[in-house]
Structure 1
Amino acid sequence: MISGTVADSSGAIIPGAEIDLTDATGATVVKTTTDASGAFQVKAPRAGNYNVQVSINGFQPATKTVTVTSSATPAAPVSFTLAVAEAVQQVTVNAGSQVDLTSSDSNGNTSVMSASDMKDLPIFDNDYVTAMSSFLDGGSEGTSGSGLMVDGMEANRALVSPSAVQEVRINQDPYSAQYFWPGRGQIDIITKQAADAYHGEFNFTFRDSAMNAQEDFSPSKPYEQRQIYEGSLTGPVAHSKSTMFLFSLNRAVEDLTAVVNATVAPTAENPDGVYNENVPAPTTDTEFSIKIGHQFTDSHSASVMYSFQNAHNTNSGVGNQTLPEAGYDTQTREDDLTLHDNYIVSGSMLNEASLALERSYDPVKDVQEGPMLVVSGNYTGGSAQADQLNTEYNLRANEMLTWTVGPHTLKFGVNVPHFGRRVRDDMTNEDGTYTFSPTYAADGSVIATSIENQQAGVPSGFSMANGQTRFVYHQQEVGAFVQDQIKLKPWFSVTPGLRYDWQTFPGDTNNFSPRISFAWVWDQKHEMVLRGGAGVYFDRSGSGPLIDLARYQDAKRRLMELSSNQETLCYPITNCIDTATLPVSYVELQQGIRTPYDVEYGLTLERKVGEKGVVSVGGRISRWTGLYRSIDENAPLGPDYTTRPNPNISQLRQIQSEGKQIGSALDINYRGRFNKRFTGFAWYTLANSGNNTDGISWFPENQRDPEAEWGPSSWEQRNKFGVYGAINPQHLLNLGVGVFANSGKPWSILTGTDAYGTDLFNARPDGVPRNSEIGPDYADVDLRWGYDFKLQPKEVDKSPTLGFSVSSFDVLNHPNGSYVDTTEGSTDFGQVTSAYAPRRTQLAMRFQF
């Protein structure tokens, strides 16, 4: 049995494509067409080598060679990505296939997880997005984080359940002007389309603490249980041949436990002050989607999809040094309505349009009310002081035209990722936050610990907010691009492009991003291809600075920040200070602030290995200019740092674009089918990155000397290695494998004091640079075994299947630390105080028809 899928270059599924299976003599032995989900299945009459040929009007035909070991054993699924038809087709082909090696779709440095991979690999909780995030590069993400694309449009989440996902990609075309982010800065999800025949898949996943190892730092093995009910169903609407539906559902219920490992004030019952407790933190998540697709003609199709999510989390934020009383409960409610339209204008022109409407509702509620107590290096308690409600109404739109003329494949597009109205009801920090620090002698010895100062009621810093609570603000982002893939020779193509982006913050207009890439088939016999490119990528700030400006630019939200450097503080603050008379803080923009931008360039050499595998070796360099940071322009002056220049203002936070970052990386990747025994992908990255800022909300230690902050980037992991592979897939004796090993991330030694009188508490010991230390390494091995039983063995191609699997994560139970106590005056300074989860076992059952 040979199965696969057919899609266009954007990932949109192509129904109605003709599939011809030819044998070694060139004779056609089987014919079929792809269904409405772009999928096909053909049964080979006997073992041997076959060519699978795909053709449809308006697209270039494609051919791939498939080896069938026996007529009863399914071959590995094959996927086709068709390019729009050219007037004169120029391709460099490999032996027996019609794959354009210069196309971005053949990029050997791409990380791809298919629907069949999701079934064969050890993926925790079926969370393929987190699994694929290992391939992302922190230096390419920017202020608002990495990007998520679903069927060519930006999204907040995957929108469909895992069984309705066709493929997940990273780094498909790293220098394309079509995308906002660099290749390793975004994840592309291609969902399945509605089919014209009834098909379904239902999965049940189960975990229980009885099958797990005990967590590090936990006083005892806590009770935990996870149940996930997931599935999808597709088919025609009322037996229609042109209208189909796809329904997907994901319901997850988890009894989680947070491990608190803190030091609190000693009592008669607890003379050592050790606080080590398992705290229940249950979660629930319900998601579903319904998609209706309609095929108007052979050249015109459209779909509409509604997606829903409602998630609840209890005792969020609890764990490590955060006590249960400082937890908060959250809800995430999101409704999405998405419309897609694909129209083949002519044999050489394809138009794709998308429109999405989103509504989100996200309340946050403290577990208990009262002031927050931050006892540096020991614990955070009192209350989370996080009460708020965030709502958003947003519109997204995409329009792209692909036009092939001779050797040119042109793409024109407009993107509107955000045209939104946001509202925040902000009640955060209304009861105030007290920070207690150690007291040091001149020689650096500790005179009083943070806990002793907390017991004495002597805080080092205090902040509180009041005033206006409701803020309405708008976030708009617009982009446009043009790109031309030019086939100069059968063995060489070049793709220049230009992109333009604008966003509400900071509002500058000169954001043009030229990009270019090339592909040169160096050795056709061994499919050796040299790829390279360069491009400019502008940053995206997200909504963070917009809400800060709405609250604090005119001090509509009164934020008061005090340091004991300016005056003596007490607990509670009302015993010594009238808070109504305190000066407030402001936020302003640096004059001439601009959008940060990244210049990336690199080269990659790839070569075929094994049956259908590709190994690639490449290097890339990234240079960020004008990164965001914050500076307190009203910071107290030295040498005693006791007096602010303007006593009528507390903190004057100025958002600047003066930071820099330089990074480089060596990447070694493998993906594909090596032989009938192994299919998978692997990667190794040796990286180096340095910068002088940690983002838009980050302040330097000394506000008067921000350039002294140069050090390793906080996200840097010098070595990253990972393997996802399936051994003997679809055989009874199969094994899915995941192996991961990463270097630790940098961290800074802190005194825990407010030495500069800014209420920031980010001071380091004299002469100690930022990010001078390296955190714990990470390593784990994950394994999975599973098998699908045919319920009607005599009809292999039509038989429903019932599958069972067992997965184990961190099989060797290797301890992996997640946090280091960074406060020099703490008794746990420099020690790991929390860890990632230990060995866990996951059972799953799947029914498919």
Structure 2
Amino acid sequence: MSPRHLLLFLLLTLSCSSFAQTLLSVRGSILDPTGAAIPGATVQLETTSGTLAAQSASDDRGNFILSNLSPGTYSLSVPAYSGFAAHATPLHLTTSIANVKITLFTQSVNQEVNVGDSDQSLSTDSSANRDTVAVSGDDLRKLPVFDQDIVATLTPFLDSSAGSSGGTTIIVDGVEMKSVGVSASAIQEVRINNDPYSAEFTRPGRGRIEITTKPGSPTFHGEANFIFRDSVFNAKNYFSPVRPPETRRIYEGHLGGPLGHGGHTSFIASASYRQQNTASVVNAIGPSGPISENVLTPNRNSQYSMRLTHDFSPAHRLSIGYNFESSASTNAGVGGITLPEAGYNLNSREDDAIFNDRLILTPNLINQLLVTFEKDEDVTKSVTDAPSLQISGSFIGGGAQADIARTENTIHVNEILTWSHGKHYLRVGVQLPQFSRRAVDDHTNRLGTAKFASLANYAADKPYVFTAQQGIGRGLYWINELGSFIQDQVKLTPHLQASLGLRYDWQTFLHDNNNLSPRISLAYAPGKGKTIFRTGTGIFYDRTGGDFPANVVLHDGVVLHSIQIQNPTYPIPPGFDFGTIPTNLVRFAPHSRTPYAIQYSFGVERQIHKTVTVTAAYRGQVGVKSFRSRDANAPILPPDPNLSDNYPRPDLNYGQIQQVESGGRNLLNALDLSFRGQAGRWFSGQAQYTLSRFDNNTGGINAFPQNQYNPNNEWGRADLDRRQRFNLVGNINPDHWLSLGVIATLYSGTPYTETTGNDDFHTGLGNARPAGVGRNTLQAGGVASLDLLYNHDFRLTKEKGDNAKFLSAGISAFNVLNRTNYTSYIGSLSSSLFEHPTAALAGRQLQFSLGYRF
């Protein structure tokens, strides 16, 4: 079947009817207050007359299913079990319900139930806001997930204004990690914007992804998946001269079960292997004209994890785990105006040892200790050993000059005490997000980089700057962070709930010690609880961003001798002594402080139907003391540049001094509208629309202003500002034999900056704008994509529930409409590609999958 015919088939299925189902089911999970599964708990469903309609027990992952049910009103209950109090809640059943989440507390503590998309019972709990994106592991199986990359799939639901300087914040089982650490099928749930003003986390709700992995299992369960793609089924990239021979193969799965006798010890192991033979498209302008070619960029990734869980008693559970991940990429960085010769190869490895100890001290007091030991090794090697050439807006060639090796040994610690009493639910914690010893061997730019304003200047051998560095390049340093918090969730009245929190953060390299972050949120549910009003505000402190402190350690004038020569004679003469040129420096300003943001919001949730909730909220943010860089030793230009062609630096003993300052600011105003639930039998899922404006005067910790002596003259749209964003995730015609998983995104474009291409300020930065032109005044094109999945489960056994075995087959279509989504626009006036894109996202691609689970 050709891709065109397959696309037609997928679209036609939207109008097909399916067989009616008269019997319904209820699926869900039972968890303790820490989010861990409670296996073996009895779940009962009784009619209003007290007749038992169905009964089940939670499996090793805390999951349960009640099937063969008729529509009606029931009571869903869990009897007291293993030190946890009993629970009961009414349930009106009109359609099958998935994602019922019951949290059991210890004796004398109130219980809560959070019913998923099929039942929109509202709660004033701060973590139950309906603006939360919550996707269970079962739901993920029904969605078109590209390469099984869960984080990339859900990242569009994050807000760039709420992110950290270090990138997306990933919380795995309560601990901040660099990656998920387990294979996709071993994920139990993913949540975004869960409890947005929680004092437990450094980032607000829209700035973090919280992932819960599956626990161990007292009975054997597992899953194996094979995912593959081939370019023969794909549309050609817009800029690609021909369709490259791409292939992808992913082998993934997990297995869980008991160890030994007695049912007190269980395990879960997961593994994945990705073999991806991909290609990038080069679209550049060289001295001889346009350059258009495909460049193979193969990569391999292996990931393994193992976790053992032992219950010493009903009150004491210990888990020990190990994660391993390695990856290798060839020709990384190639594409757009970057030529194949300027690529580099990447090799990385990460090992994690994880300890998780949960102890119920008293009926209303729980202690949880999570400790992770992490070791990382990353090596980057240039493909070509040659000087780097950068021609503004035309091409990047020569060697990448990117040779560097990094090692990192880190400890993450979370110690959290949970106490419940009466109307109060108190959490107190001490955290070490990072206690990290790092080493770096920097051999970048040893042969130098020449930058040219235009192709004409390149032909005339007239670069505006030449940079290079020499020295041992070996640096050892520590990056340590400390956090602590206290938070009380209190039921003030039957209709009003408050969450009050205070957090403290500290980090090395910055010398302020007063980073207190008060946070508060309120939820009010008048009447029968069909409407909830929410408001909240809080302060969130940022970090130095990625591994920027390494630059301060290396570029201190001793470890590395880094130079900058403006308007040099080119080529640089052989044997030139770089030691005669003053060295560059990188440093924090004496009065630099930790950036922080004040975020505030108010909104309303409305249950418009038993299965549908809509929300509307205003969200604002004021960023203070944002990081930016400034050349503190920039030449002072004369009033009339024609009076002089010599622009010396004020301190002749140094070259560029990159000084990181806390002088930036930002401002966000946003309107969020969302839908969550099941619209009849035709759609189940969630959708979000955001109308916003995000402005700032800095592009981040490595961003320089054009005029180093007027850094505040950079106010404009933020680099990642999108005025409008729409995201949808869910299922069409759910719970029927003909059901489609769907993910849709529709974004307006981001801005980019118009530059002259010349070094008009003689700083070597080449970021000067035309007179009167502000930052980020040009507009890139928008992005639109529709992804679909058709997947069908074939039952292999007659057993139902946990004993059932399935063989599944699926086909996903990404960017079904084959829309060209342009990226990487050129803003340099000296380039013939000015205001043109040089790259595009992938066209339509098909992904096939086979799976077996039991």
Cα distance in 2 for residues equivalent to 1:105 and 1:674: 24
Q: Quick check: 1:783–1:811 contact (8 Å CA) kept in 2?
A: yes
Give the corresponding residue for 2:372. Answer: 356
Give the corresponding residue for 1:715. Answer: 720
Q: Taking structure 1 as reference, are residues 166 and 768 closer, same or farther at Cα in structure 2, changes over 3 Å only? A: same
Q: Deviations over 1:635-658 (max 9, x none)?
A: 011133711111221011211101
Alignment of 1:12 onto 2:12:
no
What is the 5 A alignment of 1:360-375? 360-375=376-391
Q: Quick check: 1:522–1:528 contact (8 Å CA) kept in 2?
A: yes
Alignment of 1:553 onto 2:556:
yes
Q: Taking structure 1 as reference, are residues 90 and 340 closer, same or farther at Cα in structure 2, changes over 3 Å only? A: closer
What is the 5 A alignment of 1:526-545? 527-545=530-548
SS at match of 1:714: coil
Give the corresponding residue for 1:736. Answer: 741
SS at match of 1:519: strand
Give the corresponding residue for 2:805. Answer: 800
Q: Percent identity?
A: 38
Give the corresponding residue for 1:847. Answer: 852
Q: Quick check: 1:58–1:344 contact (8 Å CA) kept in 2?
A: no
Structure 2: 5+ residue stretches without partners: 1-24
Cα RMSD after superposing both structures: 2.1
Task: For 2:167, give the aligned amino acid.
Answer: G
Alignment of 1:706 onto 2:711:
yes
Give the corresponding residue for 1:404. Answer: 420
Give the corresponding residue for 2:474. Answer: 470
Cα distance in 1 for residues equivalent to 2:92 and 2:321: 35
Give the corresponding residue for 1:667. Answer: 672
Q: Quick check: 1:780–1:809 contact (8 Å CA) kept in 2?
A: yes
Q: Quick check: 1:91–1:490 contact (8 Å CA) kept in 2?
A: no
Cα distance in 1 for residues equivalent to 2:800 and 2:135: 29
SS at match of 2:89: strand
Q: Tell me by how many angstroms 1:677 deviates.
A: 3.4
What is the 5 A alignment of 1:603-642? 603-639=602-638, 640=641, 642=647
What is the 5 A alignment of 1:425-440? 425-437=441-453
Q: 642, 645, 657: which is aligned to 1:652?
A: 657
Cα distance in 1 for residues equivalent to 2:629 and 2:733: 54
Cα distance in 2 for residues equivalent to 1:78 and 1:141: 28
Cα distance in 2 for residues equivalent to 1:609 and 1:230: 41
Give the corresponding residue for 1:417. Answer: 433
Q: Deviations over 1:134-176 (max 9, x none)?
A: 1111111131122110011111110111111010001110111
Alignment of 1:41 onto 2:65:
yes
Q: Taking structure 1 as reference, are residues 288 and 377 closer, same or farther at Cα in structure 2, changes over 3 Å only? A: same
Cα distance in 2 for residues equivalent to 1:690 and 1:735: 38
Cα distance in 2 for residues equivalent to 1:422 and 1:187: 26
Q: Quick check: 2:631–2:708 contact (8 Å CA) kept in 1?
A: yes
SS at match of 1:453: helix
Cα distance in 2 for residues equivalent to 1:67 and 1:88: 27
SS at match of 1:131: helix
Structure 1: 5+ residue stretches without partners: 70-74, 267-272, 438-449
Alignment of 1:312 onto 2:338:
no
Give the corresponding residue for 1:77. Answer: 98
Q: Quick check: 2:103–2:111 contact (8 Å CA) kept in 1?
A: no
Alignment of 1:54 onto 2:57:
no
SS at match of 1:343: strand
Q: Tell me by how many angstroms 1:553 deviates.
A: 2.7
Greater shift after overlay, 694-703 or 576-585? 576-585
Cα distance in 2 for residues equivalent to 1:77 and 1:426: 52
Q: Quick check: 2:342–2:399 contact (8 Å CA) kept in 1?
A: yes
Give the corresponding residue for 1:693. Answer: 698
Cα distance in 2 for residues equivalent to 1:475 and 1:414: 18
Alignment of 1:244 onto 2:255:
no
Alignment of 1:333 onto 2:349:
yes
Give the corresponding residue for 2:4. Answer: none
Cα distance in 2 for residues equivalent to 1:137 and 1:803: 34
Cα distance in 2 for residues equivalent to 1:795 and 1:519: 41
Q: 196, 217, 222: which is aligned to 1:195?
A: 217
Q: Quick check: 2:103–2:112 contact (8 Å CA) kept in 1?
A: no
Q: Quick check: 1:600–1:622 contact (8 Å CA) kept in 2?
A: yes
Q: Quick check: 2:126–2:499 contact (8 Å CA) kept in 1?
A: no
Q: Quick check: 1:626–1:659 contact (8 Å CA) kept in 2?
A: yes
Greater shift after overlay, 547-556 or 744-753? 547-556
Give the corresponding residue for 2:8. Answer: none
Cα distance in 2 for residues equivalent to 1:127 and 1:59: 38
What is the 5 A alignment of 1:178-257? 178-257=200-279
Q: Quick check: 1:415–1:479 contact (8 Å CA) kept in 2?
A: yes
Task: For 2:487, give the aligned amino acid.
Answer: Q
SS at match of 2:775: coil
Alignment of 1:835 onto 2:840:
yes
Greater shift after overlay, 60-69 or 459-468? 60-69
Q: Quick check: 2:272–2:302 contact (8 Å CA) kept in 1?
A: yes
Q: Tell me by how many angstroms 1:500 deviates.
A: 0.3
Q: Tell me by how many angstroms 1:53 deviates.
A: 1.8
Q: TM-score, normalised by structure 1?
A: 0.93
Q: Quick check: 1:90–1:407 contact (8 Å CA) kept in 2?
A: no
Cα distance in 2 for residues equivalent to 1:430 and 1:322: 20
Q: Taking structure 1 as reference, are residues 833 and 292 closer, same or farther at Cα in structure 2, changes over 3 Å only? A: same
Cα distance in 2 for residues equivalent to 1:723 and 1:346: 43
Give the corresponding residue for 1:441. Answer: none
Q: 139, 142, 165: which is aligned to 1:117?
A: 139
Give the corresponding residue for 1:515. Answer: 519
SS at match of 1:573: coil
Greater shift after overlay, 243-252 or 137-146? 137-146
Q: Deviations over 1:713-749 (max 9, x none)?
A: 1110000001112022232211111211001001000
Q: Taking structure 1 as reference, are residues 364 and 794 closer, same or farther at Cα in structure 2, changes over 3 Å only? A: closer
Q: Taking structure 1 as reference, are residues 408 and 799 closer, same or farther at Cα in structure 2, changes over 3 Å only? A: closer
Q: Tell me by how many angstroms 1:341 deviates.
A: 1.1
Q: Quick check: 1:5–1:39 contact (8 Å CA) kept in 2?
A: yes
| Number of aligned residues | 820
Q: Taking structure 1 as reference, are residues 484 and 278 closer, same or farther at Cα in structure 2, changes over 3 Å only? A: same
Greater shift after overlay, 126-135 or 638-647? 638-647
Cα distance in 1 for residues equivalent to 2:99 and 2:636: 67
SS at match of 1:351: strand
Cα distance in 1 for residues equivalent to 2:671 and 2:421: 37
Alignment of 1:480 onto 2:484:
yes
Alignment of 1:583 onto 2:582:
yes
Cα distance in 2 for residues equivalent to 1:214 and 1:234: 41
Task: For 1:36, give the aligned amino acid.
Answer: D
Q: Quick check: 1:58–1:348 contact (8 Å CA) kept in 2?
A: no
Give the corresponding residue for 1:264. Answer: 286
Q: Taking structure 1 as reference, are residues 102 and 635 closer, same or farther at Cα in structure 2, changes over 3 Å only? A: same
